Amino acid sequence: MNALDYRPKPPREYHQLSKAAQKRIEDYIIECATEAAKKQEEKDIRVVLELYIKMICYMLHDTERFGKKRLTRVLYNHKRMFTGQNRLVTRGEQLDYLNKRMAEIFGKDGFPSHIIDSILGEVEIIDAKEG
């Protein structure tokens, strides 16, 4: 038999593998699925944030008559603030920072959460596949 006649063995089926090999395959599948889920979640969050930013621009244009120049400034400021927020590692740090800023802006009554609650209570969640 020479080197040209060599044929590799066909791969074994899953049930023929050792328990350790099966466990490694299962762990790899779980790892891949987890990573895919995280990426999908990041994409979903990005879509929601993009929608939110566009709604803010529309609201500012419609109610406050912001034009292209002022809206562009708002977007750049949002980018600057969002980049700063990303330096705050935990969600708790972000919430503490934002709560302090809201207290400075809204005073002793604090952020008007009841308005947000009333808005979100009226919003119907539309599945992207439906809508």
Of 38-42, 75-79, 102-106, 117-121, least confident by mean pLDDT is 117-121
Q: How many structural domains is the chain composed of? A: 1
Q: List, in sequence order, the alpha helices (H) in 1-131.
A: 19-64, 68-86, 91-106, 113-122
Residue 43 falls inside a structural domain: yes
**In the predicted model, is pLDDT for residue 131 greater than 50?**
no
Q: 124 in a domain, yes or no?
A: no
**By residue range, what is the domain housing residue 34?**
18-66
Residue 15, amino acid? H
Looking at residue 75, its amino acid is L
> 21-36: per-residue pLDDT in tens?
999 999 999 999 999 9
Residue 60's pLDDT band (boundaries 50, 70, 90)? Answer: very high
In a domain, 2, yes or no: no
pTM exceeds cut of 0.95: no
